[in-house]
Chains A and B, each alone.
Chain A
Amino acid sequence: MQPFELTDLGAGTKEMMLNMGPQHPSTHGVIKFVLRMDGEVVAALDPDVGFLHRSIEKIAEKLSYPDFMPYTDRVDYVAAMNCNFGYARVVEKLMKMEVPKRAEYIRVIVAELNRISSHLVSVGTFGNDIGAVTPFLYAIRDRELINDLLEMLCGARLTYNFVRIGGVAFDLPDTFKEKAIAFLDTLEPKLKEFNTLLSENRIFRERLAGVCVISKEDAVAYGVTGPNLRGSGVDWDLRRDEPYSVYPEVSFEVPVGGGLVGKVGDAFDRYWVRIKEMQESAKIVRQCLEQIPEGPIMAKIPRVLKPPAGDAFDRTEAPRGELGYYLVSDGSSKPQRLKIRTGSFAAVSIIPKIAPGWMIADIVALIGSLDIIAPEIDR
């Protein structure tokens, strides 16, 4: 499928301005898109962000380093563990701190579990955007099992505040391993069912084949990262190419979009990369549960954290792309400046470039396939 080329037919028609959002079923949170439409076809699109600007970066300057941890949960609430993880890493980098091996393994386990649950929300809501409601509820149903696991681990279902600077808050409960493996065993058949219902459905494939293609060059130029970048056919994953934590000790593959039903980089590729990544994450969790050593879960840290003056940047692979924290310390107990680089912000910046010429139904598919989430854009 090709985008439409809009030509003025000289009939004296005018473009229609349409406000999509902030309350719209498929903007995934409070984002507004101002569309200029020619009938069903979009002529121009202008994102209006900032409806969820909660000044998280500014709040960081008012709080001590450990106290800021709960706020990182809210940077990307669908994958709070990954945000915790990234923040803990950057503070540890600043303080040149060693984290016990067991803690690193636990971090990777929870981060990958959270990646699965985040991708489940993503593919589920994407199905919902395309009009299939039932797959969305199946995704929500399966996600509850991960919520149960993480709730057993840290007591909360969504905003975990589990990773600590220098380690993690709790050790794995006794039955965690069995329950986690039992969950991973059920994930595979459930994904298969999901694929039969949605991914292999011809209507679904036809809706997405060749739609809203993001080329390799565009994706790199706009700084799109994570599954969206891999969907465009760029083989880049921080977990493998800039390994951190215990990722070098586990083996996994990096799925890359290959134009399965249409062109490389279309909406279906981005969706399909997420389905594949869930399976890879399941593999990582299995290996980590096998390899995890005994030992302490917290490094020795001073009672009041005062990192030396200086700055540090660290990036990790979060479900929505690279999550980078830039931290400036002035030697006091509070950060001088914190900057968070998120995947969704880059993803939303490419929408105005891709959108013109596509129909409104495709725009919904584009937004859904980029898996943007409001607080990551606005922070």
Chain B
Amino acid sequence: MEIFLQEGLVLLKAALWAVALSLVMALVAGFLTYLERKVAGHMQARLGPNRVGPYGLLQFVADGVKLFLKEDLIPSDADAPLFRFGPYLVFVGSFAVFAVLPFGERIVATDLNIGLFYVLAITSIETVGLLMAGWASNNKWALLGAMRSAAQSISYEIPVGVSFLIPIVLAGSMSLQGIIHAQAGGFGLLGWNVFHNPFSLAAFFVGCTAMVAEINRTPFDLPEAESELVAGYNTEYSGMRFAFFFLAEYANIFVISMIAAAIFLGGWQLPSPFKDILPFGLVGSFVLLAKAAVLVFIVLWLRWTLPRVRVDQLMEVCWKYLTPMALVCLMGTAVWMWAFPGRIFFGLFGTA
């Protein structure tokens, strides 16, 4: 009896977390679509949405209402089961990462001890979903987009993985909370992994570039390259199924920003005097979200500035630049840890 109760409590807790996280995901992704249109608008000397609700804030609600009520078209020549399943797989791949995202010192659904590994593994599902969608559409543009997406994800997994190894090596843990805890020193600022040593600084940039490519954002948005492939893998998708792709795309921006903020920018660590103003480490949560917000803005900013690379250049950037650089960073970090055990870069000069 007792064991059932315990199991039930665990399940209930899990269900509550799932509901809360899906709400968070929907809200965050929706808000990001609004933010992207607003940022794009102002960068392009125009205003962006401003008619729906105050400052156009309800724009994403209207988009959602419309998309979910549109006709659900399945092309007659499409492979219907796969066509239906693809978007869900992409959505699941993006949503599952939220389970390990640390929203604060004590706010996290589950702190897996293999957190970063889990992130790498679960996001790979998305590629399968995209491939499925592109193939099942029975559309040549979609197929080209899906093939590009597969090649891109497989290649960029390597620099992402290697640059993830650096915080893991520094913290000696794969758990996201563990990595954040390990960045505590140096007044809560200098201890961040990005300032740990020159190699980890470089790894931050390499890792971020590779992550932008991993989620198919400009300048690496080849799978849905608008001017080349019409709409890429989602050419044939309409209504609700398209909304899932859309949701996953924007959720992914948030996910990579949160992870980069957590493993390189100290997570919820902040200069120590302000730490305990609010209970539950809420200050830390805001700090983490602020760091993520800055990174999100940079991702949007890049999109509205840069042209797109070509397929062969995409591979060149990955294999000739990012992967070797990530490997050098890993080696450098290892050498650093051997040469200056337990010391950070700024610690070499001072007492911190």
- Complex Cα distance A334/B313, Å? 57
A137 and B227 contact, CB distance less than 8 A:
no
On chain A, the residues within 8 Å of B148 by CB distance are 40
Query: For window 121-163 of chain B, which residues contact chain A by CB distance below 8 Å?
Result: 140-141, 144, 147-148
Known: A16-B140, A138-B44, A203-B219. A361 touches B225 (CB 8 A): yes
B221 and A131 contact, CB distance less than 8 A:
yes
Q: Is residue B230 within 8 Å, beta carbon to beta carbon, of the partner chain?
A: yes
Closest Cβ of chain A: how far from B75's Cβ, in Å? 15
On chain A, the residues within 8 Å of B230 by CB distance are 24-25
A26 and B305 contact, CB distance less than 8 A:
no
Closest Cβ of chain A: how far from B299's Cβ, in Å? 15
Name B313's contact: one of A128, A133, A206 (CB within 8 Å): A206
Closest Cβ of chain B: how far from A145's Cβ, in Å? 12
A18 and B227 contact, CB distance less than 8 A:
no
Name B310's contact: one of A134, A201, A207 (CB within 8 Å): A207
B45 and A137 contact, CB distance less than 8 A:
yes
Q: Is residue A371 within 8 Å, beta carbon to beta carbon, of the partner chain?
A: no
B313 and A131 contact, CB distance less than 8 A:
no
Q: Is residue B307 within 8 Å, beta carbon to beta carbon, of the partner chain?
A: yes
Interface size for A (C-beta < 8 A) is 30
On chain B, the residues within 8 Å of A129 by CB distance are 227
On chain A, the residues within 8 Å of B144 by CB distance are 40, 360
Q: Is residue A127 within 8 Å, beta carbon to beta carbon, of the partner chain?
A: yes
B140 and A198 contact, CB distance less than 8 A:
no
A131 and B225 contact, CB distance less than 8 A:
yes
Interface size for B (C-beta < 8 A) is 29
Q: Is residue A362 within 8 Å, beta carbon to beta carbon, of the partner chain?
A: yes
B310 and A361 contact, CB distance less than 8 A:
yes
Q: Is residue B51 within 8 Å, beta carbon to beta carbon, of the partner chain?
A: no
B44 and A137 contact, CB distance less than 8 A:
yes
Q: Is residue A359 within 8 Å, beta carbon to beta carbon, of the partner chain?
A: yes
Closest Cβ of chain A: how far from B270's Cβ, in Å? 34
B140 and A18 contact, CB distance less than 8 A:
yes
A130 and B43 contact, CB distance less than 8 A:
no
User: Chain B 213-243, CB within 8 Å of chain A: the 1/0 string?
Assistant: 0000011010001111110000000000000
Q: Is residue A141 within 8 Å, beta carbon to beta carbon, of the partner chain?
A: yes
Q: Is residue B71 within 8 Å, beta carbon to beta carbon, of the partner chain?
A: no
- Complex Cα distance A129/B221, Å? 13
Q: Counting chain A CB atoms within 10 Å of each CB, which of B221, B230, B306, B307 scores highest? A: B307
On chain A, the residues within 8 Å of B307 by CB distance are 127, 130-132, 198, 201, 203-204, 207
Name A362's contact: one of B227, B309, B310 (CB within 8 Å): B310
Q: Is residue B312 within 8 Å, beta carbon to beta carbon, of the partner chain?
A: yes
Name B228's contact: one of A16, A197, A360 (CB within 8 Å): A360
Q: Is residue A158 within 8 Å, beta carbon to beta carbon, of the partner chain?
A: no
Q: Is residue A364 within 8 Å, beta carbon to beta carbon, of the partner chain?
A: yes
Q: Is residue B352 within 8 Å, beta carbon to beta carbon, of the partner chain?
A: no
Closest Cβ of chain B: how far from A71's Cβ, in Å? 31
Known: A360-B144, A361-B311, A364-B228. A131 touches B218 (CB 8 A): yes
- Complex Cα distance A170/B229, Å? 46
Closest Cβ of chain A: how far from B310's Cβ, in Å? 5
A25 and B44 contact, CB distance less than 8 A:
no
A133 and B225 contact, CB distance less than 8 A:
no
Closest Cβ of chain A: how far from B232's Cβ, in Å? 11
B304 and A131 contact, CB distance less than 8 A:
no
- Complex Cα distance A138/B45, Å? 8
A197 and B305 contact, CB distance less than 8 A:
yes
On chain A, the residues within 8 Å of B40 by CB distance are 133-134
Q: Which residue of B lies closest to A127 (CB)?
A: B307
Q: Which residue of B lies closest to A19 (CB)?
A: B140
Closest Cβ of chain B: how far from A327's Cβ, in Å? 39
Closest Cβ of chain B: how far from A311's Cβ, in Å? 43
Closest Cβ of chain A: how far from B138's Cβ, in Å? 13
Closest Cβ of chain B: how far from A33's Cβ, in Å? 13
A25 and B306 contact, CB distance less than 8 A:
no
Q: Which residue of B lies closest to A40 (CB)?
A: B311
User: Chain A 23-38, CB within 8 Å of chain B: the 1/0 string?
Assistant: 0111000000000000
Q: Is residue B308 within 8 Å, beta carbon to beta carbon, of the partner chain?
A: yes
- Complex Cα distance A364/B226, Å? 11
- Complex Cα distance A359/B314, Å? 13
B311 and A130 contact, CB distance less than 8 A:
no
Query: For window 336-379 of chain A, which residues contact chain B by CB distance below 8 Å?
Result: 359-362, 364
- Complex Cα distance A173/B310, Å? 49
User: Chain A 107-141, CB within 8 Å of chain B: the 1/0 string?
Assistant: 00000000000000000000111111110011001
A26 and B228 contact, CB distance less than 8 A:
yes
- Complex Cα distance A362/B43, Å? 28
On chain A, the residues within 8 Å of B219 by CB distance are 131, 203
Known: A137-B45, A137-B46, A141-B45. A132 touches B311 (CB 8 A): no
On chain B, the residues within 8 Å of A141 by CB distance are 44-45
- Complex Cα distance A40/B222, Å? 12
On chain B, the residues within 8 Å of A204 by CB distance are 307
Closest Cβ of chain A: how far from B44's Cβ, in Å? 4
A130 and B308 contact, CB distance less than 8 A:
yes
Q: Which residue of A lies closest to B306 (CB)?
A: A203
Query: For window 2-16 of chain B, which residues contact chain A by CB distance below 8 Å?
Result: none
B304 and A361 contact, CB distance less than 8 A:
no
- Complex Cα distance A205/B44, Å? 22
B227 and A26 contact, CB distance less than 8 A:
yes
On chain B, the residues within 8 Å of A364 by CB distance are 227-228
Query: For window 190-232 of chain B, which residues contact chain A by CB distance below 8 Å?
Result: 218-219, 221, 225-230
Query: For window 77-122 of chain A, which residues contact chain B by CB distance below 8 Å?
Result: none
Query: For window 1-47 of chain A, which residues contact chain B by CB distance below 8 Å?
Result: 16, 18, 24-26, 39-40
- Complex Cα distance A132/B225, Å? 11
Which 8 A-B pairs rank lowest in CB-CB distance, beginning with the nearest? A131-B308, A132-B307, A137-B44, A26-B227, A130-B307, A131-B307, A129-B227, A204-B307
15 additional A-B pairs beyond A18-B140, A131-B225, A203-B307, beta carbons within 8 Å, are A16-B140, A18-B141, A24-B230, A128-B227, A131-B226, A131-B306, A131-B307, A131-B308, A138-B45, A203-B219, A204-B307, A206-B310, A207-B309, A360-B144, A361-B225
List 6 A-B pairs, Cβ < 8 Å: A132-B305, A133-B44, A203-B309, A203-B313, A207-B307, A359-B310
Query: Which B residues fall within an 8 A CB radius of A?
Result: 40, 43-46, 140-141, 144, 147-148, 218-219, 221, 225-230, 304-313
